């Protein structure tokens, strides 16, 4: 990211973004030491731009370079008449960190959730992700729930 040109646009992912999105996605997977099958990645990318329940946002600079991604899942809830928005994935390229890209992605997620009538926006992170947790402590409330998986 060029600090002298801090203009960042947040928008929905589109078909022209695939190569840049894949690079960001791989950076995200590498950070979390995760492995996702190529067919799952392809299906995910396809859904992010077309599905109304799985919604992909990207942060783009003035030169068309993608700086970050955020994947949202809108879903019903047994505790809400209108449902929730889950931020499943968030990644900002190392060169764009510290330029409020994450904050801009969150702002757009909040706007989308409000437009759709979602009662709640929520997300998780790993305990060891101190930089993200520092931001999340400022913009959200930490839940007392413990997540279990199988």
pLDDT at 149: 86
Instruction: Give percent above pLDDT 90 in the chain.
Output: 89
pLDDT at 2: 54
pLDDT tens digits in sequence order for the chain, 150 residues long: 555 456 999 999 999 999 999 999 999 999 999 999 999 999 999 999 998 899 999 999 999 999 999 999 999 999 999 999 999 999 999 999 999 999 999 999 999 999 999 999 999 999 999 999 999 999 999 999 988 989
Residue from 72, 70, 59 nearest 113 by CA: 72
pTM: 0.92
pLDDT at 100: 95
Residue from 19, 13, 114 nearest 54 by CA: 13
State the Rg of the chain over Cα. Answer: 15
pLDDT at 132: 93
Long-range CB pairs of 85-89, under 8 A, 24+ apart, other chains included = 85/109, 85/112, 85/113, 85/116, 85/118, 85/120, 85/121, 85/122, 86/121, 86/122, 86/123, 87/121, 87/122, 87/123, 88/123, 89/28
pLDDT at 51: 83
pLDDT at 146: 86
Residue 97 DSSP SS3: coil
Q: What is the set of domains in the chain, with CATH numbers?
A: 8-123 (3.40.630.30)
pLDDT at 77: 95
Residue from 56, 62, 65, 149 nearest 105 by CA: 56
Residue from 51, 44, 16, 47 nearest 28 by CA: 44
Calculate the average pLDDT of the chain.
93
Residue pair 65/58 in contact by the 8 Å Cβ criterion: no
- The residue behind tokens 């520092």 is 134
């Amino acid at each position: 990211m060029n600090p002298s040109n801090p203009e960042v646009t947040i928008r929905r992912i589109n078909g022209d973004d695939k190569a840049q999105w894949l690079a960001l996605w791989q950076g995200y997977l590498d950070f979390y030491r995760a492995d996702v099958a190529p067919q799952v990645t392809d299906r995910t990318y396809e859904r992010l731009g077309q599905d109304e329940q799985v919604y992909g946002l990207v942060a783009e600079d003035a030169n068309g370079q993608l700086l970050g991604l955020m994947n949202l899942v809108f879903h019903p809830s047994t505790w809400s008449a209108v449902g929730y928005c889950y931020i499943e994935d968030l990644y900002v390229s190392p060169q764009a960190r510290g330029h409020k890209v994450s904050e801009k992605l969150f702002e757009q997620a909040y706007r989308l959730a409000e437009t759709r009538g979602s009662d709640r926006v929520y997300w998780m992170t790993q305990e060891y992700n101190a930089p993200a947790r520092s931001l999340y402590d400022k913009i959200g409330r930490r839940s007392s729930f413990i997540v279990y998986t199988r």
